[in-house]
Amino acid sequence: MKLGFGLYRHQLDDAHFSFARQCGATHLVIHLVDYFRSARNNATGDQPLGDDSGWGLAGDPNRLWSFEEITAIQSAAAKHGLQIEAIENFDPAHWHDVLLDGPKKKSQLENLQTMIRAVGRAGIPVIGYNFSLAGVAGRVKGAWGRGGAEVVGMNGPLDKPIPNGMIWNMVYDPHASPGNLAPISTEELWRRHGEFLDALVPVAEQCGVRLAAHPDDPPLQTVRGQPRLVNHPLLYQRLIDRRPSPSNALEFCLGTLAEMPEGDIYEAVESYSRQNKIAYIHFRNVRGKVPFYKETFVDEGDVDMMRVLRILKKNNYEGVLIPDHAPAMSCAAPWHAGMAYACGWMQAALKNL
């Protein structure tokens, strides 16, 4: 198994590359969506949180991620001894009508195919995605961690409707007409996801790229009145079986799986690692279940992370693990300290498996 490090778009620079390498990471998972571009409530250096108006503005629909842009980041990271394992998340600007089944769906699927080809040509093996209308919404932050560390969690559900022009917790059309997005059924969401897989998996197969699905975070029945795709560990099986292929894989988020009210996390790790479906892992711990869970330091939550690592080892998982996010620690560099703590713990655990 390999230690990786996740970096947001505004962190793709020499200072963060060297920090990740100093933490022991050999691989990177990078975000090209800029959650922090225009958000009022997203402090840089932390994970995006936002409020009811989302994380901020989505990117430029007419500017796709190019081979040149990706390889420039790759060479900058390579100078620090880091290899890019995955690009995490599509930009809502590039796929809002795929999620919404809107008029631009066909051209946006073609654009996603173009970007998959660029990623494959650059030799990056994974693209992580989260097929969700509400996205990661409804989380709050507080000093709930050990010793008063600032962590993210939930203090109850959020079902305020999604306003027109917003999808995946970002605004793709600031000039949308007033009103809210009509709720859809769970089956309709699965139908749209099936179309997404049918359009993209064959291209991903040709390019040697694995599309890796993140479960719904937070994994409630509904968020903002809209259904969730994967809010039970067994629904990952439904997702895999919808289109069996090495390119139809999982961005396996232990934190989100642990937040699910039902299912057994160790059985999930066993089943999906045995099937070789895990493209990479978000390695973080939580206490409690939705809608009242809180993130914790990696060593103190509900999940026995050593037991998880032993199952992965038994099933020959050889991929990347990243801390996902970590509690912010009380010091001059709260994000750095939290991430370094998580990486140090992971390094020691991996070396002593």
Q: Which is nearer to Mn ion, 84 or 136 (CB)?
A: 136
Piece of 39-47, 265-273, 278-286, 293-301 that binds Mn ion (CB under 5 A): 278-286
Q: Which is nearer to Mn ion, 36 or 109 (CB)?
A: 36
Residues in contact with Mn ion, counted by CB under 5 A, come to a total of 3
**88 part of the interface to Mn ion, by CB under 5 A:** no
Q: Which is nearer to Mn ion, 34 or 217 (CB)?
A: 217
Cα separation, 203 vs 199, whole angstroms: 8
Strand 285-287's sheet: what is its strand order?
140-142, 151-153, 294-296, 285-287
Helix segments in the chain, DSSP class H: 14-22, 67-78, 92-100, 105-121, 186-207, 235-242, 254-259, 265-274, 305-314, 334-351
**Tokens 């045995």, located at residue:** 274
Nearest distance from residue 80's CB to Mn ion, in Å?
Answer: 24
Nearest 10 degrees: Cα torsion 280, 285, 287, 288: 0
Piece of 3-11, 101-109, 245-253, 259-267 that binds Mn ion (CB under 5 A): 245-253
**230 part of the interface to Mn ion, by CB under 5 A:** no
Q: Give SS3 for 33.
A: coil
| Contact yes or no for 2/60 (Cβ under 8 A) | no
Nearest distance from residue 251's CB to Mn ion, in Å?
Answer: 7
By the 10 Å C-beta count (0-12 exposed, 13-18 middle, 19+ buried), 76 is classed as middle
Q: Which is nearer to Mn ion, 46 or 69 (CB)?
A: 46
Nearest distance from residue 176's CB to Mn ion, in Å?
Answer: 28
Select the residue whose beta carbon is closest to Mn ion and give its number: 253
Among 35, 324, 326, 343, binds Mn ion (CB under 5 A): 324
Nearest distance from residue 52's CB to Mn ion, in Å?
Answer: 22
Cα separation, 268 vs 232, whole angstroms: 10
> In the stretch 282-301, what mask flags binding to Mn ion with x, by CB under 5 A?
x-------------------
Q: Which is nearer to Mn ion, 224 or 282 (CB)?
A: 282
**253 part of the interface to Mn ion, by CB under 5 A:** yes
Nearest distance from residue 47's CB to Mn ion, in Å?
Answer: 10
| Binding residues for Mn ion restricted to 60-79, rule: CB under 5 A | none
Paired with 211 in beta bridges are 127, 248
Q: Which is nearer to Mn ion, 65 or 280 (CB)?
A: 280
Cα separation, 236 vs 275, whole angstroms: 12
| Binding residues for Mn ion restricted to 108-127, rule: CB under 5 A | none
Q: Which is nearer to Mn ion, 91 or 295 (CB)?
A: 295
Name the residue among 319, 331, 321, 326 with its Cα closest to residue 342: 326
Piece of 18-26, 123-131, 168-176, 319-327 that binds Mn ion (CB under 5 A): 319-327
CB 75: neighbour CB atoms within 10 A? 8
Cis peptide before 157 (omega within 30 of 0): no
Q: Which is nearer to Mn ion, 85 or 324 (CB)?
A: 324
Helix (H) or strand (E) holding 167: strand 166-167
Nearest distance from residue 88's CB to Mn ion, in Å?
Answer: 9
The residues binding Mn ion (CB under 5 A) are 253, 282, 324
